Amino acid sequence: MREKKVKNLDMKQYGMVVALIAVFLIFSFLTKGANMTPMNMNNLIMQNGYVVILAVGMLLCVLTGNIDLGVGSMVALSGAVIGILLVDYKVNIWIAILAAILVGLLSGVFVGFFVSKLGIPPFIVTLATMLMGRGLTYTVLQAQTKGPFPNEFTYIGAGFLPTIKVNLGGRPIDVISVGVAIIISVLILLAEFKDIKTKEKYGFATNPLWQIAIKEIVILAIVWFIFSKLATCNGIPFVLVIMAVLAGFYHYITTKTVAGRQIYALGGNAKAAKLSGINTEKVFFWVYTNMGIMCAIAGIVLSARNGSSTPKAGDGFEMDAIASCYIGGAATAGGVGTVIGAVVGAFIMGILNNGMSLYGWSTDIQKIVKGAVLLGAVTVDLVTKRKKG
Amino acid sequence: MSDVILEMKKITKEFSGVKALADVQLSVKRGEIHALCGENGAGKSTLMNVLSGVYPYGTYTGDIIYNNEVCQFHNIKESEAKGIVIIHQELALSPCLSIAENVFLGNEQTSVKGVINWTKTKSKAKEMLAKVGLEDENVNLPVNLLGVGKQQLIEIAKALAKKVELLILDEPTAALNDEESKKLLELMLELKKQGITCIIISHKLNEISYVADSITIIRDGKTIETIEKEKEDFTEDRIIKGMVGRELTNRYPKREDVKIGKTIFEVKDWNVFHPEEAERQMIKNVSFHVREGEVVGFAGLMGAGRTELAMSIFGKTYGQKIQGSIKMHGKEVRIKNVKDAIQHKLAYVSEDRKNYGLVLIEDIKRNMTMAALKKFFSKNGVVNKNEEILAANKFMKKINIKANSIDQKVVSLSGGNQQKVVLAKWMLTQPDVLILDEPTRGIDVGAKYEIYCVINELAKAGKAIIIISSEMPEIIGTCDRVYVINEGEIAGELNEYEVSQEKIMQCVMAHNRKGE
C-alpha cells in the first residue's frame, strides 16, 4: 500500500478571489445592497466584457515582461471598420465582423513584426500604434459617430441567450440559466474528482479534503450567486458566453500547452529560453498578433453594446487591461501571472467602478481610488514576496 | 628598504559554508608590482574583493593593514578614499558617456556641489589621459567607440583621477591583443616609476615574469608561497610548479566498464567571427571529434575561445560568419538553431547557469522539462503534466537534487543543486553528445563529486561528452582525452596518459610564442 501524500493548497493563487469577494461585500454594505440586485449583476458583466477580453490578451504580453499600449486605439479602429461597413455599405454583419478581426490581425502582425523581427521594444512600437491607430480611426470616421447598427449585430454586445421563464413564488425564473449553472457545477466537481483520481493513480500528493471542500464551496457559491441573479433578470448575456469561452481557452493555453509554457519561460529568462530551443522571436510575434485579434473582438463587443462606433471609443482601455493583469498578480518583469488572475483583476476594477458610481462618487474620485488600488495591490504583492525572500 | 604598503593577515572568507579563502597572507611592498597567481577558482579575485570592500568588513575574518593602519572597509568608496582602486575584468565604464565623463565617473568635478564643471572635467580628463598615453583622444567621444585596449587604459586613467596609491588589476590583458597588452604592461612599469603600487592578477605567466617584482601564489584558497625577483628567477616552470603542486586524492570518481566506441561527433574546419566585430576571428580552423563513451576535455585559459566554440556549434548561438562541418554518427548535419541542435541530439550546459541555464522564478520541474517539453512531454502541443512530474521526480532522485519537492523554485537552491537541475534539463532531451561548459563552477566539493558521477554514468550509457573547464585538475581527473585551446585555435591534443597540468600549460605557452 502506497503511503498517501498530502500537501496544503497554495493559498496565494486564491488571494485575489478573496480580495474580489471582499471588495464586493464592502460595496454592498456601502450601497446597502444596491450592487447585489439582479439588474446590477447583469450590468457588471455586460459593462466589463471588453476589459476582461483585453485583460486576457494583455496577460500574454505582460507574461513576456512587456505591455501593449495600442490596445484602446485598436479597439476603436476595429469598431470604426464595423461602423463604416454596417452603416455606409450595409454589408452582412458576418462580413463586418470578419473585416474587424482582419484589421485586428493585421495590426497585431504589424506590432509583432517590429517587436520580433526588428527587435524594437514593445513599449515604443505600441506607443506608436496607439497614436497611429487613434489617428486612423478619426480619419476613417471623419471624426463622426456611425450608427445605429442592426439588431442582429447589437445582440453580440447587448443580447441574451434565449430564456424560458417559469414562475416560482411569484417571481419569473429563467430555467436556462439554472440549467447552465447546474451543468457548470457538475463539470467543476467532475474536474476536481478527476484531478484527485489522477493524483492518486500517479501517487502524487493530494490536498486535504477539507481544503478542497472549502475551495469548491466558494467557487460553486460564486457561480450560483451570479446565475441566480441572472436567472431573475434577463437570463445569460451573450457577452458572458464570449468572455467565458475566451477566458477558458486562454486558461487552457497558458496552463496546459507547450506554447503557454514557452511564454512563461521567455518572460522568466529569455536567454535561457532561447538556449533551450524556444524560438523567442516566434513567441513574441504570436503574443502580439494575438493581442491584435483580442482588440478586434473587444471592439466588436463594445460597438455592439453601444450600437454605434465613435472615434473616441476605447480611450484608456489599455490602462484598464494592464492594471487588471497587475492587480491579478502578474509580475512587471514577466514570467508570472495567470489568466484567471487577470479576469479576477478585471472584475475587481469593474466592481470598484460600479460600486463607486452607485455610491455616488464622481468619475474623478473613481480614478483616484482605482490608481490607489493598483498601487496598493502591487505593493502588497511585492513586499510580501520580498519578505519571504 | 622594505616599506610594506599592504599587509593582509589570516584572511578567511566563506561562501555558504564553503571556504573560498583560508588564512591567506599577502604582503605588498611600496612601489612594487606584485602578481597574484593561481588557477581559476583559487581565490585571487575573492581576496581582492575583500581588500577593496566589495565584500564588506564583517563578512570575512582577518586583518587588513594598509599604510600601517588597520582598515575595515564597508564598501568600495571607503577603500577608494584611501587610494585603493580595483579594476575588474569586466570594465566599469558607461558605454554611451564620453571619455571625460567616464574618467570622472563617481568622482565628478564640480564647482558648486552637484553641478558639474565641464571645463575642469575636460581639461583634467586630458591630463589623466596623457598619463596613460592617450593624449590624442577626443575626450568628448563616447567610450564605446574605443577598442577594449583603450577602454582598459581609460579605466586606469579613472583610477589615476582618484589619486590611486594601490592599483589592483584583475586580468587586465585577458581581452587584449598582444600589442595592446604590451602597451598596458609598459604603462604599469611607468606608473611604478611614479610610485604607484600595483597588484596584478593574470594567467599570462610571460607577462607576469616581465613586469612583476614579486609573485604570491594562491592555491585552493591558501597562500602557497611568495617568490621575489631579487632572490629567484621567474621562469614559467617555476611559477607553474607553485600553482600546480597539489596532490590529487580521489576527488574524481573512477570510470569503470566504459567502452569507448566509434566516433559519433565530429567537427571540421570550424571558423567563427565575433558577433559585433565582423573582422575579428574568434575560432580558427578548429577540428575535433568525440567517440561513444568518451569524455573529452577542452582545456585552456579564460578567454581562449572554448565557450565561443561550443555555443557556435550549438545552434549558432554565438558569433557570425560561421563556417565548417558537423558530423553526427558519420552523417553531416546542418544545425541552424537550438531546435535543430536538440533534434540532432546535441546538448549544451552553459557555464552561466543563472543567466543562460535556468528560469530562476520557475520551479525545478518546469526548468527540468524546458528543453524536452515539446518532444517528450507533450502531445499535439498539450503538456502531459503527469508524465512531467514523474520524470522530474525520477531525475531529482537519480542525480540527488536536494530540495523539498519538484515544486520548489530554483532560485532558492544552492549552486550545486541548480547545476544539477540544468544537467537534468539536458539529460531529459536524451542527447547523444553533451557539451558541459564549466560544469562545476562555483559549487562545493561534494556536489562536484556527484556531478562527476553523473558524467561517468552518461559515459557508461555511451554518450559522447565534452567538458570545458578552466580547472586543470578537473580536466585531468575526468577526461579521456584533452584538446588544449588557445586564442581560438587548437594548441595541442593530449591523451589520457600524457596529460598533466605542466603539459597543458606548455601547449598554451608554445602556442603563444608561435603567435608572437
Q: Are B226 and B215 in contact (CB under 8 A)?
A: yes
Looking at the predicted structure, is the pLDDT value of residue A256 above 80? yes
Digit-coded pLDDT (tens) for A325-361? 999 989 888 999 999 999 999 999 999 999 999 999 9
Please name the residue that has the C-alpha cell 484608456: A316
Interface of A with B in 332-351 (CB under 8 A): 335-336
**Interface touch A272/B315, C-beta < 8 Å:** no
Whether residue B40 is found in the same domain as residue B170: yes
* Among the partner residues B342, B361, B386, nearest to A335 by beta-carbon distance: B361
Whether residue B142 is found in the same domain as residue B16: yes
Whether residue B319 is found in the same domain as residue B220: no
In a domain, B457, yes or no: no
Q: Give the minimum alpha-carbon distance from A280 to chain B in angstroms, rounded to a whole number.
A: 11
Q: Are B159 and B137 in contact (CB under 8 A)?
A: no
Does B442 or A257 have the greater pLDDT score?
A257
In a domain, B458, yes or no: no
pLDDT of residue B513: 81
E strands present in chain A? 165-168, 171-174
The overall average pLDDT reported for chain A is 91
The three-point CA angle B152-B154-B157 to 5° equals: 120
- Per-residue HEC secondary structure of A117-148 comes to HCCCCHHHHHHHHHHHHHHHHHHHHCCCCECC
CA-based nearest residue in chain B for residue A263: B370
In a domain, B459, yes or no: no
Mean pLDDT of A72-87: 96
Residue B473 CB contacts under 8 Å (≥ 6 apart), including other chains:
B39, B246, B248, B251, B501
Whether residue B286 is found in the same domain as residue B313: yes
Please give the biggest Cα pair distance in chain A.
Answer: 75
Residue B361 CB contacts under 8 Å (≥ 6 apart), including other chains:
A268, A331, A335, A336, B409, B411
CA-based nearest residue in chain B for residue A274: B338
* Among the partner residues A271, A277, A279, nearest to B355 by beta-carbon distance: A271
In a domain, B205, yes or no: yes
Mean pLDDT of A159-170: 87
Whether residue B298 is found in the same domain as residue B188: no
Chain B partners within 8 Å of A7 (Cβ): 405
Chain A partners within 8 Å of B413 (Cβ): none
* Among the partner residues B314, B361, B373, nearest to A268 by beta-carbon distance: B361
Looking at the predicted structure, is the pLDDT value of residue A160 above 70? yes
Phi/psi of residue B7, each to 5°?
-135, 125
In a domain, B199, yes or no: yes
* Segment-wise mean pLDDT, segments of 10 residues, chain B, 516 residues: 82 78 91 85 83 88 90 89 87 88 88 87 91 88 86 90 90 78 90 92 83 89 86 77 61 82 93 88 93 93 87 91 92 93 94 90 93 90 90 91 87 86 94 93 77 92 92 87 92 89 87 76
Chain B partners within 8 Å of A273 (Cβ): 359, 370
* Among the partner residues A198, A277, A335, nearest to B371 by beta-carbon distance: A277
Looking at the predicted structure, is the pLDDT value of residue A286 above 70? yes
* Among the partner residues B339, B350, B386, nearest to A277 by beta-carbon distance: B339
In a domain, B152, yes or no: yes
pLDDT of residue A4: 53
Whether residue B110 is found in the same domain as residue B218: yes
Containing H/E element for B318?
Answer: none
Q: Are A141 and A159 in contact (CB under 8 A)?
A: no
ipTM of the complex: 0.84
* Among the partner residues B315, B337, B374, nearest to A258 by beta-carbon distance: B374
* Residue A363 touches chain B, beta carbons under 8 Å: no
DSSP B356: I
Chain A partners within 8 Å of B368 (Cβ): none
Q: Which of B359, B376, B383 to mutate to test the interface with A (most CBs of A within 10 A)?
A: B359
**Interface touch B389/A336, C-beta < 8 Å:** no
Q: Is A307 helix (H, G, I), strand (E, B) or coil?
A: coil
CA-based nearest residue in chain B for residue A201: B386
What domains, with CATH codes, occur in chain A?
11-159+237-363 (1.10.3470.10), 160-236 (no CATH)
Whether residue B17 is found in the same domain as residue B165: yes
Q: Is B69 helix (H, G, I), strand (E, B) or coil?
A: strand
* Residue A196 touches chain B, beta carbons under 8 Å: no
Give the domain extent around B223: 4-244
Residue that finishes a domain, picked among B387, B405, B430: B430
Q: Give the minimum alpha-carbon distance from B386 to chain A in angstroms, rounded to a whole number.
A: 7
* Among the partner residues A202, A261, A268, nearest to B373 by beta-carbon distance: A261
Residue that finishes a domain, picked among B221, B244, B267: B244
* Residue A36 touches chain B, beta carbons under 8 Å: no
Q: Give the minimum alpha-carbon distance from A387 to chain B in angstroms, rounded to a whole number.
A: 14
Residue that finishes a domain, picked among B404, B430, B456: B430
DSSP result, A239-304: HHHHHHHHHHHHHHHHHHBHHHHHHHHHHH-HHHHHHTT--HHHHHHHHHHHHHHHHHHHHHHHHH
pLDDT of residue B17: 63
pLDDT of residue A88: 94
pLDDT of residue A2: 44
* Among the partner residues A256, A268, A275, nearest to B356 by beta-carbon distance: A275
Name beta bridge partners: B6.
Answer: B28, B66
In a domain, B157, yes or no: yes
Whether residue B336 is found in the same domain as residue B374: no
Whether residue B283 is found in the same domain as residue B214: no
pLDDT of residue A128: 97
Instruction: Give how far Cα B1 sits from Cα of B29, B30, B81, B135, B186, Å.
Output: 9, 10, 26, 35, 25
Whether residue B51 is found in the same domain as residue B162: yes
Per the omega criterion (within 30 degrees of 0), is the bond before A172 cis? no
Q: Give the minimum alpha-carbon distance from A256 to chain B in angstroms, rounded to a whole number.
A: 5
In a domain, B422, yes or no: yes
Whether residue B221 is found in the same domain as residue B265: no
Chain A partners within 8 Å of B341 (Cβ): 277
Q: What's the distance, Cα to Cα, between the start and end of chain A in Å?
A: 38
Count of structural domains within chain B:
3
Mean pLDDT of A171-179: 90
Q: Are A334 and A264 in contact (CB under 8 A)?
A: no
* Residue A274 touches chain B, beta carbons under 8 Å: yes
Hey, what's the cell of A135? 489617428
For residue B150, the domain's CATH number is 3.40.50.300
Whether residue B220 is found in the same domain as residue B79: yes
Mean pLDDT of A269-275: 93
Q: Which of B362, B386, B435 to mutate to test the interface with A (most CBs of A within 10 A)?
A: B362
* Residue A204 touches chain B, beta carbons under 8 Å: yes
Q: Which of A10, A266, A269 to mutate to test the interface with B (most CBs of B within 10 A)?
A: A269
